Chains A and B, each alone.
Chain A
């Protein structure tokens, strides 16, 4: 695999979908870790949780530290899984800080998700769904649908960034890399949900 280093100009497209061509390691970690924590804490304003590597749900009111812990668990779980996967399938030497740093930065799209969940119509409609209220409000439904669409797009963008981060930091490409990444996503989803459930039990016990 040969990376093209002589880019004629810094493309916005590259910055949006593969910023790891330019940023990795400590710089990515320094930028990404605050993003992980801020996005998670923003969930407190909309009572929504990043309760899994890919998950984002309206949920219980919990202590502020719990929101931050969820974000950190999701990041650490995926970082650890992809680091281990890279050690198995990559023929290159790579650094753990590149894997963890780029995975943190890849979660940038999560910044927008709690903001979308704060839309007034979304909150009202979510409350109706949770109360099994069948009252139909067109404006609220429209806001809810648009927020969901926006959140789904952010998740897709995040997954693409996570794969690119894995590909660049571990120097893996092709079908094997994609297959391993998808497997890591499934395992990561299960593992992160289990860890967050344990954390919730601990929180309720306090």
Chain B
């Protein structure tokens, strides 16, 4: 069963950060506080859309054929995704940087 990476705190809704990463081969563990990559913070459907966009070499026409929908439908979806990414980027620039912490 494929598990989905949770990106938002189920308690307060804030963006989650990775605190511990572990190597499955040699069991080495690294602890700290790592912000999730922006693309990982998108929902499953958006991530799949980005993946398909790349594999279609950025061609919206090919992407529309892949999904079986019209070009404007795919275009509108991309615009929504751009808006979402900009929201996430804005959220990143407002967050306190490591060196600014007391």
Residues of chain A having any CB pair with chain B under 8 Å:
1-3, 5-6, 10, 20-25, 27-28, 91-95, 98, 102, 168-169, 171
Interface 1/0 per residue, B73-97 and A, CB below 8 Å: 1111101110010000000000000
B58 part of interface (Cβ distance < 8 Å): no
Q: How many A-B residue pairs have CB under 8 A?
A: 66
Contact B71 A171 (CB under 8 A): no
Interface size, B (range): 10 to 19
Interchain CB contact under 8 A, A3 and B68 = no
* 9 other A-B residue contacts (CB within 8 Å) besides A1-B76, A22-B69, A98-B71: A1-B80, A3-B73, A5-B67, A20-B70, A21-B73, A22-B68, A24-B71, A25-B72, A171-B76
B residues contacting A by CB (< 8 A) are 45, 49, 67-77, 79-81, 84
Q: What 8 A-B pairs have minimum CB-CB distances, sorted nearest first?
A: A2-B80, A24-B70, A171-B76, A3-B77, A5-B67, A3-B76, A92-B79, A24-B72
The answer to whether A2 touches B74 (Cβ under 8 A) is no
Q: Once the chains are docked, how many angstroms separate the CA of A10 from the CA of B84?
A: 27
In the complex, A28→B70 CA distance in Å?
A: 10
For B71, the chain A residues whose CB sits under 8 A away are 24-25, 95, 98
With the chains together, A20 CA to B64 CA distance in Å?
12
Across-interface contacts of A22 in B (CB, < 8 A): 68-70, 73
Chain A residue nearest to B63 in the complex (CB): A5
Taken together as a complex, chains A and B put the C-alpha atoms of A20 and B76 apart, in Å, by 12
B70 pairs with A23, CB closer than 8 A: yes
| B77: min CB distance to chain A, Å | 5
Residue among B74, B75, B77 with max Cβ neighbours from chain A (10 Å): B75
Pairs across A and B, CB under 8 Å, 22 listed: A1-B79, A1-B80, A2-B80, A2-B81, A5-B45, A5-B49, A5-B73, A20-B70, A20-B72, A22-B69, A23-B70, A24-B72, A24-B73, A25-B70, A25-B71, A25-B72, A92-B75, A94-B72, A168-B70, A171-B75, A171-B76, A171-B79
